[in-house]
Amino acid sequence: MRLSARIDSDCRSMESYFHKLFALLQEGKAEDELAPVEVCDLDSNESHASYHRFSHLVKPDMIMNIYSLVDFWLSEICEYHRRNLNLDLGSKDIKGENELHARHKYLTTYAGLNLSAVQDSYKKLDDLRNVRNKFIHGGGHIPNDQEKKFTAINGISLLGTLIIIDNNFVWSMLEHAKKYLQAAALA
- pLDDT beneath 70, residues of the chain: none
Question: Contact 32/104 with Cβ under 8 angstroms?
Answer: no
pTM of the model: 0.92
Residue 139 has a pLDDT of: 95
Q: What is the residue extent of each domain of the chain?
A: 3-30+54-186
Cα angle 176, 180, 183 (rounded to 5 degrees) comes to 140
Q: Label the pairing between strands 156-159 and 162-165.
A: antiparallel
Whether the CB-CB separation of 155 and 168 falls below 8 Å is answered with yes
